[in-house]
């Protein structure tokens, strides 16, 4: 085969691969500039059904694709060149695997004759991401004799696996020989490249069998002290179904911040501040559910998980996959069924179950804690990190998206965010592996995927870690506000045992950087605001977002933050004790 035909065949095969993915539901392709990946990039750019986003950093591009897929509920594709470019995708691949996000990773590779020979930019890319992808296949060079249908069939199968429960990443390693592309004047116009999809995969819905249904209905109808725990949910549809079940069942609802119900569950007995209520030893003694029905994924609150591990209630988990998510070894019954379908099935009969009489006093106690949080912050003259979470939860409208960074932001929102009578905003976070990397890119990708005005709350180290992803704001048309809590280092470490090592704490753990974000914001064309009082922050968050992306920098002190959390929690524990004494228990 001549060199000219090699370039044509590369593009033709890449066209077929991209067309197969688009036919299977992929809409967004995220790419980074590279030579070896040229056939893939051009194929994505010229397909009329593909949206192409280009970002110079492979890690940021990967997290943007992940955030988009998580928010849109559709698979996204990521493509990059060979060598360390591909290796930079690993953090997002890990997060996609742990968080069950469908992601198709297309890595361009050198041909086999250049591998293991010291050729430039040639590394071992087969199984580069370990066992995190659900499949990893190296496709032969397009000018090898493998038929075009082979490429299409492999792509169709990989995309099916990416979406099959549990969803996750898949890896297609694509070898190309030079010349990588045909000459411009010899490049044919785009035409539908063959029949796509090559194979239509039909996914069966997992449902509860008749015997399990009968047992559940009889068992749950006899529970007097039950609790509905709602963990991370994957879509607005799952959140709506969980809310419908909560309204019907009327068990006290302990909703994680990533469930979509923690900041608003109208009509359900929401115990929003269960985490802070558990600061009270008296409450721990009183709150002993006999049965817990847990919907969805894991929880942010370690305090709740530790308490349930001590109480050892009968624990029933419903999650649409067979992975073992049970770090405290609590689960007695695991239902590997679709969460939304389960909720739709159980809600009608649940209306006739006996009501949990302790739901009302638990909600009253939670409201008392909410009042305590509000009163305490109203008396603060300086900005606090818990106050940032409180104000942000109040300011985000229901028809918006809230993205939370890891370490303290997601925890502060879980503990101190204000619940409202109606619906709260949609909430997303990268809680699969809970890393601080890629959070800016993920939030911007989620904003594009959801198509909603978006606010992201990150710590300063997370923002610095992904600073060049501020460039991706140009790929997002919706209003976007990034709130960065800048406490000059890793604030969460002040709450951990490492803080006792005074001689090494600052250098090894807190890692102060002494940086401010104003110049970075201007470099990337963002508006920058730095409110210095609670009132200024409240006014800023309540105002309409700016026309362009906005970075709000909130400066706090790590030592002051630790002290403020301690004072607030001590007050809340005493408040819960007093309320329980006045109520005479639950």
pLDDT at residue number 146: 81
Q: Are 445 and 472 in contact (CB under 8 A)?
A: yes
Render pLDDT for 221-263 as a digit per residue (tens, 0 to 9): 999 999 999 999 999 999 999 999 999 999 999 999 999 999 9
Flag whether pLDDT at 515 surpasses 50. Answer: yes
- Of 339, 478, 343, the C-alpha closest to 403 is 478
Model confidence at 1, in pLDDT bands (50, 70, 90)? very low
More confident position, 135 or 120 = 135
| Strand stretches in 210-337, DSSP E | 226-230, 253-255, 291-295, 314-319, 333-336
Cα distances (Å, whole numbers) of residue 335 to 290, 314, 316, 330: 19, 14, 8, 14
| d(C-alpha 504, C-alpha 509), whole Å | 8
Cα distances (Å, whole numbers) of residue 244 to 15, 35, 250, 343: 44, 51, 10, 7
pLDDT at residue number 116: 87
To the nearest 10°, report the CA torsion of 55, 60, 65, 71: -120
Chain Cα centroid distance, residue 65: 12
- Beta-sheet pairing, 51-54 with 103-109: unpaired
- Of 114, 127, 132, the C-alpha closest to 36 is 114
Render pLDDT for 534-575 as a digit per residue (tens, 0 to 9): 999 999 999 987 789 999 999 999 999 999 999 999 999 999
- Of 267, 228, 271, 274, the C-alpha closest to 251 is 228
pTM of the model: 0.96
Flag whether pLDDT at 321 surpasses 90. Answer: no
Q: Report the range out of 317-326, 356-365, 497-506 with the highest average pLDDT.
A: 356-365
Return phi, psi of residue 97, to 5°.
Answer: -65, -45
Q: Are 29 and 51 in contact (CB under 8 A)?
A: yes
Average pLDDT in the 154-161 region?
95
| d(C-alpha 529, C-alpha 208), whole Å | 52
pLDDT at residue number 16: 95
Residue in the structure block whose two tokens are 């060598």: 83
pLDDT at residue number 31: 98
Flag whether pLDDT at 496 surpasses 60. Answer: yes
pLDDT at residue number 193: 80
Average pLDDT in the 498-520 region?
91
Question: What percent of the chain has pLDDT above 90?
Answer: 86
| d(C-alpha 502, C-alpha 504), whole Å | 6
Flag whether pLDDT at 371 surpasses 50. Answer: yes
Q: Are 54 and 6 in contact (CB under 8 A)?
A: no
Model confidence at 494, in pLDDT bands (50, 70, 90)? confident
Average pLDDT in the 191-195 region?
79
| d(C-alpha 439, C-alpha 445), whole Å | 10
Q: Which residues pair with 291 in a beta bridge?
A: 226, 314
Model confidence at 120, in pLDDT bands (50, 70, 90)? confident
Mean pLDDT, the chain, whole residue set = 94
Model confidence at 4, in pLDDT bands (50, 70, 90)? low
Flag whether pLDDT at 2 surpasses 60. Answer: no
Q: Are 213 and 70 in contact (CB under 8 A)?
A: no
| Strand stretches in 110-168, DSSP E | 136-139
Q: Which residues pair with 197 in a beta bridge?
A: none
| d(C-alpha 518, C-alpha 147), whole Å | 55
Return phi, psi of residue 553, to 5°.
Answer: -100, 120
Flag whether pLDDT at 397 surpasses 90. Answer: yes
Long-range contacts of 22-26 (CB under 8 A, 24+ apart): 22/47, 22/49, 22/50, 22/196, 23/196, 23/197, 24/75, 24/155, 24/156, 24/159, 24/160, 24/197, 25/74, 25/75, 25/159, 25/163, 26/50, 26/74, 26/75, 26/76, 26/77, 26/104, 26/159
């Amino acid at each position: 085969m001549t060199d000219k035909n090699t370039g044509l065949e590369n593009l033709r095969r890449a066209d077929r691969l991209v067309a197969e993915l688009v036919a299977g539901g992929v809409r967004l392709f995220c790419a980074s500039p590279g030579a070896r990946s040229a056939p893939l990039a051009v194929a994505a750019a010229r397909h009329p059904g593909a949206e192409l986003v280009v970002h110079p950093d492979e890690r940021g591009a990967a997290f943007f694709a992940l955030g988009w897929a998580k928010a849109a509920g559709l698979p996204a594709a990521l493509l990059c060149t060979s060598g360390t470019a591909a290796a930079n995708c690993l953090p997002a691949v890990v997060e996609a695997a742990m968080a069950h996000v469908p992601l198709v990773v297309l890595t361009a590779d050198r041909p086999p004759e250049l591998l293991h020979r010291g050729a430039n930019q040639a590394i071992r890319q087969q199984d580069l991401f370990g066992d995190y992808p659900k499949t990893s296949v190296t496709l032969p060079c397009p000018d090898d004799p493998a038929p075009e249908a082979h490429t299409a069939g492999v792509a169709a199968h990989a995309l099916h696996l990416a979406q099959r429960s549990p969803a996750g990443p898949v890896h297609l390693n694509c070898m190309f020989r030079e010349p990588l592309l045909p000459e411009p004047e010899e490049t044919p116009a785009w035409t539908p490249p063959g029949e796509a999809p090559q194979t239509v995969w039909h996914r069966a819905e997992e449902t509860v069998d008749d015997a399990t249904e009968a047992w559940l209905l009889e068992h749950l109808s006899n529970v007097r002290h039950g609790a509905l725990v709602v963990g991370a949910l994957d879509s607005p549809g799952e959140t709506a179904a969980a809310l419908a079940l909560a309204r019907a069942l009327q068990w006290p609802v302990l909703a994680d911040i990533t469930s979509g119900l923690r900041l608003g569950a109208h009509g359900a007995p929401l115990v929003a501040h269960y985490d802070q209520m558990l600061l009270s030893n008296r409450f721990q003694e009183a709150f002993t559910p006999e049965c817990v029905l847990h919907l969805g994924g894991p929880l942010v609150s370690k305090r709740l998980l530790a308490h349930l591990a001590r109480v050892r209630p009968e624990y029933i988990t419903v999650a649409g996959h067979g992975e073992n998510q049970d770090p405290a070894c609590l689960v007695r019954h695991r239902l590997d069924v679709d969460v939304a379908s389960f909720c739709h099935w159980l809600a009608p009969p649940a209306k006739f179950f006996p009501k949990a009489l302790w739901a009302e006093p638990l909600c009253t106690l939670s409201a008392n804690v909410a009042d305590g949080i509000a009163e305490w912050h109203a008396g603060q003259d300086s900005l606090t990190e818990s106050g940032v979470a409180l104000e942000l939860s109040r300011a985000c409208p229901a028809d918006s998206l809230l993205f939370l960074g890891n370490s303290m932001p997601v925890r502060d929102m879980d503990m101190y965010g204000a619940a409202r009578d109606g619906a709260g905003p949609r909430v997303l976070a990268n809680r699969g592996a809970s890393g601080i990397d890629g959070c800016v890119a993920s939030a911007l990708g989620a904003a594009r995927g959801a198509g909603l005005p978006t606010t992201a709350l990150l710590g300063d180290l997370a923002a610095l870690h992904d600073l060049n992803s501020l460039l991706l704001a140009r790929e997002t048309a919706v209003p976007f506000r990034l709130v960065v809590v800048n406490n000059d280092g890793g604030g969460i470490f002040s709450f951990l045992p490492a803080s006792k090592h005074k001689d090494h704490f600052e250098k090894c753990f807190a890692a102060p950087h002494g940086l401010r974000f104003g110049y970075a914001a201007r470099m990337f064309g963002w508006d920058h605001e730095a409110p210095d009082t609670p009132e200024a922050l409240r006014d800023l968050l309540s105002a309409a977002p700016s026309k362009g992306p906005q970075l709000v920098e909130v400066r706090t002190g790590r030592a002051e933050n630790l002290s403020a959390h301690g004072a607030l929690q001590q007050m809340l524990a005493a408040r819960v004790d007093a309320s329980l004494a006045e109520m005479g228990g639950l």
